[in-house]
Amino acid sequence: MKKIFALLFFCFVLISCKNDDDNIDCCSQPIVTDVTFTFSHNWEDTEVTENDFNTMQYINANGEVLTIARIRYLLSRFELVNTNGESFPLTGYKLIDLSNPESFTFNTTISDGTLYPGLYTLKFVYGFNEEDNIDGAYPDLNSASWNWPAMLGGGYHFLQFDGMYNVDTTSSPFNYHNGTARISDGNYEQNFVSFEFFPEVEINYNTTIEIKMDISEFFKNPITWDLNQYNTPLMPNYDAQKMMQQNVGSVFSIGQITQE
């Protein structure tokens, strides 16, 4: 009787000590729950940080000497696509501010589907697509004064890039701001850019993917940007908005991928 009672007691202790984390099916493959992105910024091969703002001079493709005062940009709709074409959207969007290094990291979860380790194509959207670009809908972006004027179609900025050009002669401001393009009053055109990167990247349980921004590309490819002609104001300028959209296409690339 004593032995039976003691056995029952130890069973009770063992059951009460059971950790919920142990509740894993040992026979199924673990799934990937989240991915981390980091954001780095350079002018061609030179890293750009807030410490370079207002002082470091850069020469763009058109030969203008410029300084940078502010860069903020929005990326959304991060997505992984496996080799069978199945899509796994990631949660949320990210506003990156070069003045705030805390914004250079974005940990996001798989919002739909079961994702196993493997090779995936990375996609994201520069700015918001038309479905997401809802005027005033995002309190965090409103609080950051990231809104795009209603008279220009509303929604949000995709990019705010401010600086001075011709700083070697007669320094003047430029405001390279990008968002919805206004064709005419009440007539607007989407202006986001969808990125898809090849080759596929390996996604594992603790994958970090570096997204690199080459700032010089805003002025270079395919359109050689003339700051003497296009400086400010550019938000209501349809041609400038569509040229920005074209040049953004070569700004982003994938950097280091780490599995830790």
Partner 1 sequence: MKKWLIYSVLCICLSCSNEPTDADTDAYVPTPSPLEIPELFENLIIAPVLPIDNPQTVEGIALGKKLFFDPILSADNTQACASCHAPQNAFTDSTRFSIGIDGIAGNRNSMPLFNMAWNYDELFFWDGRAFSLEHQAIEPVTNPIEMHNTWDVVVSRLQQNDEYPQLFEAAFGDQTITKELATKAIAQFERTLISANSKFDRYLLGDATLTQQEQNGLNVFMDENRGDCFHCHGNPNNPLWTDNIFHNNGLDATFSDLGLGEVSGDPADNGKFKSPSLRNLAFSAPYMHDGRFNTLDEVINHYSEGLVDSPTIDPLMKKVDEGGVHLTPQDKSDLKAFLLSLSDPSFINNPDFQN
**Interface contacts to partner 1, rule CB under 8 A:** 2, 5-6, 9, 13, 16, 53-55, 69-70, 135-136, 139-140, 142-143, 145, 147, 149-151, 160, 162-164, 170-175, 177, 232-236
Nearer to partner 1, 21 or 102 (CB): 102
Nearer to partner 1, 113 or 173 (CB): 173
Burial of 97 (0-12, 13-18, 19+ CB in 10 A): middle
Q: Please, what is the minimum distance in Å from the beta carbon of residue 69 to partner 1?
A: 5
Q: Please, what is the minimum distance in Å from the beta carbon of residue 77 to partner 1?
A: 21
Nearer to partner 1, 84 or 143 (CB): 143
Q: Please, what is the minimum distance in Å from the beta carbon of residue 65 to partner 1?
A: 15
Q: Please, what is the minimum distance in Å from the beta carbon of residue 144 to partner 1?
A: 8
Q: Please, what is the minimum distance in Å from the beta carbon of residue 11 to partner 1?
A: 14
The distance from CA 15 to its chain's CA centroid, rounded to whole angstroms, is 46
Nearer to partner 1, 149 or 255 (CB): 149
How far apart CA 177 and CA 222 sit, in angstroms, is 18
Query: Which amino acid appears at position 140 of this protein?
Result: D
Largest Cα–Cα separation, the chain:
99
Q: Please, what is the minimum distance in Å from the beta carbon of residue 183 to partner 1?
A: 16
Please say whether the beta carbons of 247 and 213 come within 8 A: no
| List of E strands, the chain | 34-43, 46-47, 58-59, 65-82, 87-89, 93-97, 105-109, 118-126, 159-165, 172-178, 181-184, 187-189, 193-203, 207-214, 252-259
Nearest to 138 by CA among 99, 93, 181, 174: 93
Nearer to partner 1, 93 or 120 (CB): 93
Query: Which amino acid appears at position 194 of this protein?
Result: S
Nearer to partner 1, 177 or 220 (CB): 177
